[in-house]
Structure 1
Amino acid sequence: MDATLLLCLAGLTAGAMNALAGGGSFVSLPALIAAGVPSVQANASSTVALFPGGLASAWAYRDQLGPVGAVPLRPLLLATLAGGMAGAILLLYTPAKTFDFVLPWLLLVASLALSFGRRLGEWLRRRVRIRPAAVLAVQFGLGVYGGYFGGAVGIMMMAIWSLLDDRDLKSLNAPRTLLVSAANIVAVVIFMAARAVYWPGTLVMLAAATVGGYAGAQIGRRAPARVVRAVTLTLTACITVAFFVRAYLPGHP
């Protein structure tokens, strides 16, 4: 398949996935690698390509922003920005060969978060309460993860926040989209300044992801949530397995 067509289709799919259930980087990152972009540069480029869609979601939720439990939004934002900066810098200093071996495990963590994050958060909420100071420390760690890789980081945030109180998870969508975008915007600036972005492929994917995000939102209004979730989890599981094979089985580049 032509590389441009591949990146266009991947962008459409990734944008739609992010609008429906998350996990768009499971498609955008492998597509960039398949197009010949080195893995570290592909990860940076994927972050840049999917960023505008996330930013648009954050803007759409701007009227619903507020504290998370007893934790004001501003300290959470600062912790996320600092973590995102640290994660992005860490990625740039990670050798490509090392990242190739770490990547399947990052995908596995993200797959588990997509599969069980919300249910785990609900299970823990019945048994655990967490202090605001601890939330800020964990939020910094999630910012690092978001700047370094970021798969399913929004689900992880909501699982942790659910330990603060019994707030409806739907009401956490606004701060989630803002803070995920905060981690990404720092990473995007750093990746661009370091010239770590493969622009030809990124621009194609960015445009396609924007269209895919709009289409995904329309599909989400009509498609059964159970079907969307099943398709998303099946796709992410298959891609995770493929990357474990690529990294650890002899004879697979």
Structure 2
Amino acid sequence: MNAMIMTFSAGMVAGAMNALAGGGSFVSLPALIAAGVPPVQANTSSTVALFPGGLASAWAYRDGARSVGAVPIRALLAATLCGGLVGALLLLRTPSATFSFVLPWLLLAASLALAFGRRVGEALRARWHIHAHAVLALQFGLGIYGGYFGGAVGIMMIAVWGLLDNGDIKRLNAPRTLLVSAANTVAVLAFIAAGAVRWPETLAMLAGAVIGGYGGAHVGKRAPANVIRAVTLCATACITLVFFLKTYAPTLLQH
């Protein structure tokens, strides 16, 4: 019962974070691991639990999902779906010990993307412009990352697309939301088909995420954006540090 309460509460927080600034998996994944779910299964279950909220956002943005620069949205969608499936299959074949070892680095990559992704994208956009074929190759790679882990992948997509499309960044929110959901969709289907989801904890977290996402959307209309961003970055940095200490501190102390 305590595990169900914890995962439901974590789902509420994760759903609210995704509605406000992203980074919900920083809460959902550690909560599932703390509830006794093995790391790989915790990641698959977290993806499934947070999936409906992302799908709802994609539906809300459906009318704005257009091409990015010269790259048709269908080509980006195909690259993302293929990459998402590859990433999901890679995760399913990753031993829990290996995933536990690389998890802090995945969290660090996501933290840096949340903190600096937009700035890096703007800086690169001022100096570089890449071909559409290169964008599709990068999109396939981002699809793999999305299917395997996915933290802050939407921000990474916008940073890459900015090298191709110099238009309004806000216009990229619709295709970003659609393609993040695409990677998650194929991953969720693969995880369910493989029987890699812990359903009791997942369903409790999913219910909490729906409530948290709805509440977070209303909070986001009133709370200052800089405060939301600061709290999100602080939380993600602290969680990443905890995982680094948990994974590597015992080894360092032995030496």
Range class of TM-score, shorter chain: over 0.9
Alignment partner, residue 123 of structure 1: 123
**Aligned-partner Cα distance in 2 for 1:90–1:18:** 25
Alignment partner, residue 204 of structure 2: 204
Alignment partner, residue 73 of structure 2: 73
> How high is the TM-score relative to the length of structure 2?
0.97
Alignment partner, residue 13 of structure 1: 13
**Aligned-partner Cα distance in 1 for 2:83–2:17:** 25
Structure 1's unaligned 5+ residue stretches are none
Q: Counterparts in 2 of 1:1-253, with a 5 A limit?
A: 2-250=2-250
**Aligned-partner Cα distance in 1 for 2:177–2:41:** 24
Structure 2's unaligned 5+ residue stretches are none
**Aligned-partner Cα distance in 1 for 2:181–2:159:** 18
- Once the two structures are superposed, residues 217-241 of structure 1 have per-residue CA deviations (whole angstroms, 9 ceiling, x without a partner) of 1011000000000000000000000
Root mean square deviation of aligned Cα: 1.1
Alpha-carbon offset, residue 157 of structure 1:
0.1
**Aligned-partner Cα distance in 1 for 2:160–2:152:** 13
Identity of aligned residues (%): 71
SS in 1 for 2:250: coil
Q: Which amino acid aligns with 1:111?
A: S
**Aligned-partner Cα distance in 2 for 1:166–1:66:** 15
Alpha-carbon offset, residue 190 of structure 1:
0.4
SS in 2 for 1:197: coil
**Aligned-partner Cα distance in 2 for 1:73–1:190:** 23
- Once the two structures are superposed, residues 158-210 of structure 1 have per-residue CA deviations (whole angstroms, 9 ceiling, x without a partner) of 00011112211111110001000000000000000000000000000001101
**Aligned-partner Cα distance in 2 for 1:12–1:165:** 35
Alpha-carbon offset, residue 4 of structure 1:
1.3
**Aligned-partner Cα distance in 1 for 2:217–2:69:** 28
Q: Which amino acid aligns with 1:213?
A: G
SS in 2 for 1:94: coil
**Aligned-partner Cα distance in 1 for 2:129–2:214:** 37
**Aligned-partner Cα distance in 2 for 1:27–1:33:** 10
Q: Which amino acid aligns with 2:212?
A: G
**Aligned-partner Cα distance in 1 for 2:88–2:179:** 15
Runs of 4+ deviating beyond 6 Å? none
**Aligned-partner Cα distance in 2 for 1:201–1:159:** 34
Q: Which amino acid aligns with 1:210?
A: V
